[in-house]
Homo-oligomer: A and B are copies of this chain.
Amino acid sequence: MVRSRNQMIQLPSALENPSLETRPPAPAHSRKRPTLGIIGGGQLARMTAQSALSLGCDVVILDDDADAPASTPAARWIRKSANDPAALCELAQAADVVALENEFVDAALLAELEERGHCVLPSAATMRIVQDKFVQKTALMTAGLQVPPFAAVDSRAELISAGERLGWPLVLKKRRDGYDGKGNATLHSAEDIDAAWERLDGYRHALYVEAFCSFQKELATIVTSSRDGSSVSYPLVETVQRDHICHTVAAPASISDAVARTAGDIARRAVEAVGGAGSFGVEMFLTEDGSVLVNELAPRVHNSGHYTIEACVCSQFENHVRAIMGWPLGSTAMRAPAAAMVNLLGHAEGPGQPQGIADCLAVAGAHLHLYGKARSRPGRKMGHITALGSTVDEALNIATRAAAPLHFGNFS
Protein backbone atom coordinates (compact mmCIF):
# COMPACT_ATOMS: atom_id res chain seq x y z
CA MET A 1 0.00 0.00 0.00
CA VAL A 2 2.98 2.27 0.46
CA ARG A 3 3.89 4.44 -2.53
CA SER A 4 6.67 6.94 -2.59
CA ARG A 5 5.38 10.38 -3.32
CA ASN A 6 8.09 12.23 -1.46
CA GLN A 7 8.68 14.53 -4.37
CA MET A 8 5.06 15.69 -4.07
CA ILE A 9 5.21 16.21 -0.35
CA GLN A 10 8.19 18.46 -0.83
CA LEU A 11 6.93 22.01 -1.09
CA PRO A 12 7.38 23.70 -4.44
CA SER A 13 10.07 26.35 -4.31
CA ALA A 14 7.47 28.93 -5.37
CA LEU A 15 6.05 28.66 -1.87
CA GLU A 16 8.76 30.88 -0.52
CA ASN A 17 8.03 33.51 -3.11
CA PRO A 18 4.50 33.24 -4.31
CA SER A 19 5.22 35.50 -7.21
CA LEU A 20 3.67 38.84 -6.41
CA GLU A 21 6.83 40.23 -7.98
CA THR A 22 6.66 38.03 -11.05
CA ARG A 23 3.04 38.92 -11.75
CA PRO A 24 2.86 40.30 -15.27
CA PRO A 25 1.88 43.95 -15.72
CA ALA A 26 -1.51 44.79 -17.18
CA PRO A 27 -1.59 44.65 -20.98
CA ALA A 28 -0.95 47.92 -22.79
CA HIS A 29 -4.15 49.60 -23.88
CA SER A 30 -5.06 48.23 -27.23
CA ARG A 31 -7.89 49.30 -29.49
CA LYS A 32 -9.33 45.80 -29.84
CA ARG A 33 -11.75 44.33 -27.34
CA PRO A 34 -9.92 42.85 -24.33
CA THR A 35 -10.25 39.07 -24.37
CA LEU A 36 -10.48 36.91 -21.29
CA GLY A 37 -9.77 33.20 -21.66
CA ILE A 38 -11.31 30.91 -19.05
CA ILE A 39 -10.31 27.30 -18.47
CA GLY A 40 -13.58 25.56 -17.64
CA GLY A 41 -17.08 26.50 -18.75
CA GLY A 42 -19.34 25.89 -15.75
CA GLN A 43 -21.60 28.32 -13.93
CA LEU A 44 -18.65 30.23 -12.45
CA ALA A 45 -17.30 30.92 -15.93
CA ARG A 46 -20.84 31.74 -17.10
CA MET A 47 -21.37 34.42 -14.46
CA THR A 48 -17.83 35.76 -14.97
CA ALA A 49 -18.52 35.97 -18.71
CA GLN A 50 -21.74 37.90 -18.08
CA SER A 51 -19.79 40.49 -16.09
CA ALA A 52 -17.01 40.58 -18.66
CA LEU A 53 -19.57 41.22 -21.39
CA SER A 54 -20.90 44.33 -19.62
CA LEU A 55 -17.34 45.65 -19.38
CA GLY A 56 -16.99 45.15 -23.13
CA CYS A 57 -14.68 42.13 -22.98
CA ASP A 58 -14.83 39.07 -25.18
CA VAL A 59 -14.62 35.73 -23.42
CA VAL A 60 -13.17 32.51 -24.81
CA ILE A 61 -14.01 29.31 -22.95
CA LEU A 62 -12.03 26.05 -22.98
CA ASP A 63 -14.26 23.13 -22.01
CA ASP A 64 -14.98 19.80 -23.66
CA ASP A 65 -18.40 19.41 -22.02
CA ALA A 66 -21.18 19.84 -24.57
CA ASP A 67 -23.37 21.02 -21.68
CA ALA A 68 -21.02 23.85 -20.58
CA PRO A 69 -23.13 26.68 -19.10
CA ALA A 70 -20.60 29.33 -20.14
CA SER A 71 -20.71 28.49 -23.84
CA THR A 72 -23.62 30.88 -24.41
CA PRO A 73 -22.28 34.20 -23.09
CA ALA A 74 -18.85 33.44 -24.57
CA ALA A 75 -17.72 34.94 -27.85
CA ARG A 76 -15.89 31.71 -28.60
CA TRP A 77 -15.89 28.21 -27.21
CA ILE A 78 -12.93 25.87 -27.68
CA ARG A 79 -14.54 22.48 -27.16
CA LYS A 80 -11.45 20.59 -26.06
CA SER A 81 -10.03 19.18 -22.85
CA ALA A 82 -8.41 21.53 -20.34
CA ASN A 83 -5.65 18.92 -19.95
CA ASP A 84 -4.72 19.11 -23.63
CA PRO A 85 -1.58 21.29 -23.89
CA ALA A 86 -2.37 22.23 -27.51
CA ALA A 87 -5.88 23.34 -26.53
CA LEU A 88 -4.48 25.42 -23.67
CA CYS A 89 -2.12 27.10 -26.14
CA GLU A 90 -5.02 27.78 -28.48
CA LEU A 91 -6.91 29.42 -25.59
CA ALA A 92 -3.89 31.47 -24.50
CA GLN A 93 -3.24 32.68 -28.05
CA ALA A 94 -6.85 33.85 -28.34
CA ALA A 95 -6.83 35.71 -25.01
CA ASP A 96 -5.03 38.60 -23.33
CA VAL A 97 -5.25 36.82 -19.98
CA VAL A 98 -5.96 33.19 -19.12
CA ALA A 99 -8.08 32.66 -16.00
CA LEU A 100 -9.68 29.53 -14.64
CA GLU A 101 -12.92 28.56 -13.00
CA ASN A 102 -11.65 25.52 -11.12
CA GLU A 103 -8.45 24.30 -9.54
CA PHE A 104 -8.18 21.06 -11.51
CA VAL A 105 -5.94 22.04 -14.40
CA ASP A 106 -2.38 20.88 -13.84
CA ALA A 107 -0.14 23.76 -12.69
CA ALA A 108 2.68 22.32 -14.83
CA LEU A 109 0.58 22.95 -17.94
CA LEU A 110 -0.09 26.52 -16.78
CA ALA A 111 3.65 27.00 -16.22
CA GLU A 112 4.24 25.97 -19.83
CA LEU A 113 1.84 28.72 -20.97
CA GLU A 114 3.72 31.24 -18.84
CA GLU A 115 7.02 30.08 -20.33
CA ARG A 116 5.59 30.82 -23.76
CA GLY A 117 4.92 34.38 -22.60
CA HIS A 118 1.20 34.11 -21.88
CA CYS A 119 -0.36 35.79 -18.86
CA VAL A 120 -2.03 33.25 -16.55
CA LEU A 121 -3.92 34.48 -13.47
CA PRO A 122 -3.85 33.11 -10.87
CA SER A 123 -0.27 32.18 -11.79
CA ALA A 124 1.05 28.63 -12.19
CA ALA A 125 3.03 29.14 -8.96
CA THR A 126 -0.16 30.01 -7.07
CA MET A 127 -2.06 27.10 -8.60
CA ARG A 128 0.75 24.67 -7.73
CA ILE A 129 0.27 25.61 -4.08
CA VAL A 130 -3.51 25.80 -4.01
CA GLN A 131 -4.48 22.78 -6.07
CA ASP A 132 -2.76 20.34 -3.72
CA LYS A 133 -4.63 20.81 -0.44
CA PHE A 134 -1.75 19.43 1.59
CA VAL A 135 0.65 21.93 0.04
CA GLN A 136 -1.97 24.67 0.43
CA LYS A 137 -2.39 23.96 4.14
CA THR A 138 1.36 23.87 4.59
CA ALA A 139 1.65 27.27 2.90
CA LEU A 140 -1.08 28.74 5.12
CA MET A 141 0.60 27.33 8.24
CA THR A 142 3.96 28.66 7.08
CA ALA A 143 2.36 32.10 6.77
CA GLY A 144 1.37 31.90 10.42
CA LEU A 145 -2.31 31.13 9.86
CA GLN A 146 -4.16 28.59 11.95
CA VAL A 147 -5.50 25.54 10.11
CA PRO A 148 -6.96 22.29 11.49
CA PRO A 149 -4.12 19.86 12.34
CA PHE A 150 -3.27 17.79 9.26
CA ALA A 151 -0.79 15.21 8.02
CA ALA A 152 0.15 13.56 4.77
CA VAL A 153 -0.65 9.84 4.80
CA ASP A 154 0.88 7.43 2.36
CA SER A 155 -0.22 4.19 3.92
CA ARG A 156 -2.66 2.56 6.31
CA ALA A 157 0.08 2.54 8.96
CA GLU A 158 0.60 6.28 8.62
CA LEU A 159 -3.12 6.80 8.87
CA ILE A 160 -3.35 4.81 12.12
CA SER A 161 -0.42 6.76 13.49
CA ALA A 162 -2.06 10.06 12.45
CA GLY A 163 -5.27 8.98 14.19
CA GLU A 164 -3.34 8.35 17.40
CA ARG A 165 -1.61 11.70 17.09
CA LEU A 166 -4.56 13.90 15.98
CA GLY A 167 -7.37 11.90 17.62
CA TRP A 168 -10.52 10.43 16.04
CA PRO A 169 -12.65 11.32 14.14
CA LEU A 170 -10.37 12.21 11.24
CA VAL A 171 -11.24 13.44 7.79
CA LEU A 172 -9.38 11.62 5.03
CA LYS A 173 -9.15 13.76 1.88
CA LYS A 174 -7.77 13.60 -1.60
CA ARG A 175 -5.00 16.14 -1.98
CA ARG A 176 -6.26 17.13 -5.43
CA ASP A 177 -9.46 17.37 -7.45
CA GLY A 178 -11.98 17.14 -4.60
CA TYR A 179 -15.03 19.40 -4.47
CA ASP A 180 -18.42 19.51 -2.75
CA GLY A 181 -17.38 16.69 -0.40
CA LYS A 182 -16.36 14.47 -3.32
CA GLY A 183 -12.94 13.21 -2.25
CA ASN A 184 -13.59 13.33 1.52
CA ALA A 185 -14.34 10.57 4.00
CA THR A 186 -14.87 10.85 7.75
CA LEU A 187 -13.16 8.16 9.81
CA HIS A 188 -14.66 7.61 13.25
CA SER A 189 -12.05 5.03 14.18
CA ALA A 190 -9.31 2.89 12.67
CA GLU A 191 -12.03 0.47 11.60
CA ASP A 192 -13.23 2.93 8.94
CA ILE A 193 -9.81 3.14 7.28
CA ASP A 194 -10.02 0.28 4.79
CA ALA A 195 -13.38 1.29 3.31
CA ALA A 196 -12.37 4.96 3.05
CA TRP A 197 -9.00 4.10 1.51
CA GLU A 198 -10.79 2.00 -1.10
CA ARG A 199 -13.44 4.62 -1.78
CA LEU A 200 -10.92 7.46 -2.26
CA ASP A 201 -8.60 5.04 -4.07
CA GLY A 202 -5.57 5.74 -1.94
CA TYR A 203 -3.61 3.35 -4.13
CA ARG A 204 -3.76 5.83 -7.00
CA HIS A 205 -4.41 9.22 -5.37
CA ALA A 206 -2.36 11.18 -2.89
CA LEU A 207 -4.34 11.56 0.34
CA TYR A 208 -3.97 13.46 3.59
CA VAL A 209 -5.86 13.62 6.87
CA GLU A 210 -7.20 16.50 8.90
CA ALA A 211 -8.39 16.56 12.48
CA PHE A 212 -12.18 16.84 12.55
CA CYS A 213 -12.95 20.47 13.35
CA SER A 214 -15.86 21.05 15.67
CA PHE A 215 -17.11 24.49 14.72
CA GLN A 216 -19.78 26.98 15.77
CA LYS A 217 -20.14 28.37 12.27
CA GLU A 218 -18.61 28.07 8.86
CA LEU A 219 -17.55 31.49 7.62
CA ALA A 220 -16.46 32.54 4.17
CA THR A 221 -15.46 35.63 2.27
CA ILE A 222 -14.18 36.68 -1.12
CA VAL A 223 -10.88 38.52 -1.45
CA THR A 224 -10.11 40.06 -4.83
CA SER A 225 -6.45 40.84 -5.52
CA SER A 226 -5.41 43.03 -8.38
CA ARG A 227 -2.40 42.69 -10.63
CA ASP A 228 -0.70 45.54 -8.80
CA GLY A 229 -1.04 43.76 -5.46
CA SER A 230 -3.91 45.89 -4.11
CA SER A 231 -6.91 43.97 -2.83
CA VAL A 232 -10.48 44.36 -1.62
CA SER A 233 -12.55 42.01 0.46
CA TYR A 234 -16.25 41.34 0.77
CA PRO A 235 -18.30 41.01 3.94
CA LEU A 236 -17.88 37.88 6.04
CA VAL A 237 -20.75 35.48 5.37
CA GLU A 238 -22.02 32.36 7.08
CA THR A 239 -22.38 29.27 4.94
CA VAL A 240 -24.52 26.27 5.72
CA GLN A 241 -23.54 23.01 4.05
CA ARG A 242 -25.82 20.05 3.52
CA ASP A 243 -24.20 16.75 2.49
CA HIS A 244 -20.92 18.66 1.98
CA ILE A 245 -22.55 21.00 -0.59
CA CYS A 246 -23.13 24.67 0.05
CA HIS A 247 -26.82 25.02 0.77
CA THR A 248 -27.32 28.63 1.95
CA VAL A 249 -25.22 31.73 2.42
CA ALA A 250 -26.23 34.48 4.84
CA ALA A 251 -24.63 37.92 4.52
CA PRO A 252 -23.36 39.37 6.72
CA ALA A 253 -22.49 36.58 9.15
CA SER A 254 -23.97 36.96 12.61
CA ILE A 255 -20.63 37.40 14.42
CA SER A 256 -19.06 40.07 16.57
CA ASP A 257 -17.15 42.92 14.91
CA ALA A 258 -13.98 41.57 16.50
CA VAL A 259 -14.44 38.12 14.93
CA ALA A 260 -15.33 39.73 11.59
CA ARG A 261 -12.14 41.80 11.70
CA THR A 262 -10.03 38.79 12.65
CA ALA A 263 -11.57 36.58 9.97
CA GLY A 264 -11.27 39.30 7.33
CA ASP A 265 -7.62 39.77 8.20
CA ILE A 266 -6.97 36.03 8.09
CA ALA A 267 -8.67 35.78 4.68
CA ARG A 268 -6.52 38.56 3.22
CA ARG A 269 -3.35 37.01 4.63
CA ALA A 270 -4.34 33.59 3.29
CA VAL A 271 -4.76 34.89 -0.26
CA GLU A 272 -1.51 36.85 0.06
CA ALA A 273 0.27 33.71 1.28
CA VAL A 274 -0.39 31.99 -2.03
CA GLY A 275 0.14 35.09 -4.20
CA GLY A 276 -3.48 35.05 -5.35
CA ALA A 277 -4.77 37.22 -8.21
CA GLY A 278 -8.43 37.72 -9.02
CA SER A 279 -11.33 36.77 -6.73
CA PHE A 280 -10.57 33.99 -4.24
CA GLY A 281 -13.02 32.24 -1.96
CA VAL A 282 -11.75 31.69 1.60
CA GLU A 283 -13.60 29.15 3.74
CA MET A 284 -13.03 29.34 7.49
CA PHE A 285 -14.19 27.66 10.66
CA LEU A 286 -15.24 29.64 13.72
CA THR A 287 -14.46 27.10 16.43
CA GLU A 288 -16.33 26.56 19.68
CA ASP A 289 -13.60 28.48 21.53
CA GLY A 290 -13.88 31.47 19.17
CA SER A 291 -10.75 30.84 17.06
CA VAL A 292 -10.84 31.29 13.30
CA LEU A 293 -9.17 28.53 11.28
CA VAL A 294 -8.72 28.52 7.53
CA ASN A 295 -10.51 25.53 6.04
CA GLU A 296 -9.79 25.95 2.35
CA LEU A 297 -8.91 28.44 -0.36
CA ALA A 298 -10.64 28.42 -3.74
CA PRO A 299 -8.44 30.16 -6.34
CA ARG A 300 -11.43 31.58 -8.19
CA VAL A 301 -14.89 33.09 -7.74
CA HIS A 302 -16.80 31.05 -5.21
CA ASN A 303 -20.33 29.91 -4.42
CA SER A 304 -20.25 31.87 -1.15
CA GLY A 305 -19.96 35.07 -3.22
CA HIS A 306 -22.85 34.63 -5.65
CA TYR A 307 -24.99 36.89 -3.46
CA THR A 308 -22.68 39.79 -4.40
CA ILE A 309 -24.32 40.08 -7.87
CA GLU A 310 -27.32 41.83 -6.36
CA ALA A 311 -26.12 42.62 -2.85
CA CYS A 312 -22.84 44.45 -3.44
CA VAL A 313 -21.96 47.52 -5.50
CA CYS A 314 -19.46 45.50 -7.57
CA SER A 315 -19.88 41.71 -7.65
CA GLN A 316 -17.15 39.11 -7.09
CA PHE A 317 -17.44 38.36 -10.83
CA GLU A 318 -16.99 41.95 -12.01
CA ASN A 319 -14.10 42.47 -9.59
CA HIS A 320 -12.53 39.22 -10.83
CA VAL A 321 -12.60 40.58 -14.38
CA ARG A 322 -11.34 43.99 -13.26
CA ALA A 323 -8.51 42.39 -11.28
CA ILE A 324 -7.16 40.13 -13.96
CA MET A 325 -7.59 42.76 -16.68
CA GLY A 326 -5.51 45.15 -14.58
CA TRP A 327 -8.36 47.61 -13.99
CA PRO A 328 -9.17 49.35 -10.68
CA LEU A 329 -11.27 47.27 -8.30
CA GLY A 330 -14.88 48.20 -7.46
CA SER A 331 -16.57 48.75 -4.13
CA THR A 332 -17.48 45.63 -2.15
CA ALA A 333 -19.99 47.50 0.02
CA MET A 334 -23.40 45.92 0.47
CA ARG A 335 -26.41 47.74 -0.98
CA ALA A 336 -28.84 46.37 1.60
CA PRO A 337 -28.50 45.51 5.29
CA ALA A 338 -28.66 41.78 4.56
CA ALA A 339 -28.76 39.19 1.80
CA ALA A 340 -29.24 35.47 1.50
CA MET A 341 -28.47 32.95 -1.21
CA VAL A 342 -29.98 29.49 -1.60
CA ASN A 343 -28.46 26.99 -3.99
CA LEU A 344 -30.77 25.16 -6.38
CA LEU A 345 -29.65 21.54 -6.52
CA GLY A 346 -30.84 18.83 -8.88
CA HIS A 347 -33.41 16.56 -7.26
CA ALA A 348 -33.15 13.69 -9.72
CA GLU A 349 -31.74 12.64 -13.08
CA GLY A 350 -33.64 14.31 -15.90
CA PRO A 351 -33.91 17.40 -18.04
CA GLY A 352 -32.18 20.46 -16.66
CA GLN A 353 -35.13 22.77 -17.22
CA PRO A 354 -36.99 22.97 -13.90
CA GLN A 355 -40.68 22.84 -13.19
CA GLY A 356 -42.13 25.64 -11.09
CA ILE A 357 -40.47 28.73 -12.60
CA ALA A 358 -43.69 30.80 -12.57
CA ASP A 359 -44.31 30.03 -8.89
CA CYS A 360 -40.69 30.88 -8.09
CA LEU A 361 -40.85 34.22 -9.92
CA ALA A 362 -44.10 35.09 -8.15
CA VAL A 363 -42.11 35.57 -4.91
CA ALA A 364 -41.38 39.30 -4.74
CA GLY A 365 -37.73 40.22 -4.31
CA ALA A 366 -36.27 36.84 -5.32
CA HIS A 367 -33.53 36.89 -7.94
CA LEU A 368 -33.44 33.67 -9.93
CA HIS A 369 -30.22 32.52 -11.58
CA LEU A 370 -30.42 29.37 -13.67
CA TYR A 371 -27.22 27.95 -15.12
CA GLY A 372 -28.83 26.50 -18.24
CA LYS A 373 -27.49 22.97 -17.69
CA ALA A 374 -29.08 20.48 -20.07
CA ARG A 375 -29.31 17.68 -17.49
CA SER A 376 -30.18 17.50 -13.82
CA ARG A 377 -28.52 15.02 -11.48
CA PRO A 378 -29.16 14.62 -7.75
CA GLY A 379 -27.16 17.28 -5.91
CA ARG A 380 -25.94 18.99 -9.09
CA LYS A 381 -25.79 22.79 -8.82
CA MET A 382 -28.47 23.95 -11.27
CA GLY A 383 -28.85 27.55 -10.18
CA HIS A 384 -29.27 29.79 -7.18
CA ILE A 385 -31.62 32.38 -5.73
CA THR A 386 -30.56 35.59 -3.99
CA ALA A 387 -32.75 37.93 -1.96
CA LEU A 388 -31.96 41.15 -0.12
CA GLY A 389 -33.63 42.21 3.08
CA SER A 390 -33.45 44.37 6.14
CA THR A 391 -32.40 41.27 8.08
CA VAL A 392 -30.79 37.97 7.13
CA ASP A 393 -33.94 36.15 8.24
CA GLU A 394 -36.12 38.24 5.95
CA ALA A 395 -33.79 37.64 3.00
CA LEU A 396 -33.49 33.94 3.76
CA ASN A 397 -37.25 33.64 4.00
CA ILE A 398 -37.73 35.19 0.55
CA ALA A 399 -35.02 33.07 -1.07
CA THR A 400 -36.25 29.87 0.55
CA ARG A 401 -39.86 30.48 -0.48
CA ALA A 402 -38.79 31.18 -4.06
CA ALA A 403 -36.63 28.05 -4.19
CA ALA A 404 -39.34 25.74 -2.86
CA PRO A 405 -41.51 25.40 -6.02
CA LEU A 406 -38.57 24.56 -8.30
CA HIS A 407 -37.97 20.93 -9.16
CA PHE A 408 -35.06 19.72 -11.26
CA GLY A 409 -35.16 16.32 -12.93
CA ASN A 410 -37.81 13.71 -13.61
CA PHE A 411 -40.31 12.78 -10.95
CA SER A 412 -39.74 9.20 -9.91
Is A75 an interface position by the 8 A CB rule? yes
- Select one of B53, B73, B327, B353 contacting A32, CB under 8 A: B353
With contact pairs A53-B72, A56-B372 given, residues A358 and B327 touching in the complex (Cβ less than 8 Å): yes
A87 contacts across to B, CB distance below 8 A: none
Cβ A32 vs Cβ B362 within 8 A: no
Say yes or no: A353-B74 contact (C-beta < 8 A), given A56-B372, A331-B364, A362-B328: no
A33 contacts which chain B residues (CB < 8 A)?
A: 352-353, 372
How many of A's residues come within 8 Å of B, CB to CB? 45
Q: Flag whether A357 is at the interface (Cβ < 8 A).
A: yes
Whether, in the assembled complex, A369 has its beta carbon less than 8 Å from a beta carbon of chain B, the answer is yes
Mark out the residues of chain A between 65 and 83 whose CB falls within 8 Å of any chain B CB in the assembled complex.
Answer: 72-75
Is A383 in the interface zone, CB < 8 Å from B? yes
Name A76's closest neighbour in chain B (CB-CB): B72
- The 8 Å CB contact of A328, one of B58, B361, B372, is B361
CA distance A361 to B327 in the complex (A): 7
Determine the distance from Cα of A53 to Cα of B32 in the docked complex, in whole angstroms.
26
Q: Are B50 and A72 in contact (CB under 8 A)?
A: no
8 A Cβ contacts from A1-55 to B: 29-34, 46, 50, 53-55
Cβ-defined contact, A361 with B53, below 8 A: no
Residues of chain B within 8 A (CB-CB) of A336 are: 335
Find chain B residues with CB under 8 A from A364 CB: 313, 330-331
- Give me the interface of A with B, judged by CB distance under 8 Å: 29-34, 46, 50, 53-56, 58, 72-75, 313, 322, 326-328, 330-331, 335-336, 350-355, 357-358, 361-362, 364-365, 368-372, 383, 388
Known: A31-B350, A31-B355. 6 other contacts (CB 8 A): A29-B357, A31-B351, A33-B353, A56-B357, A72-B74, A327-B361
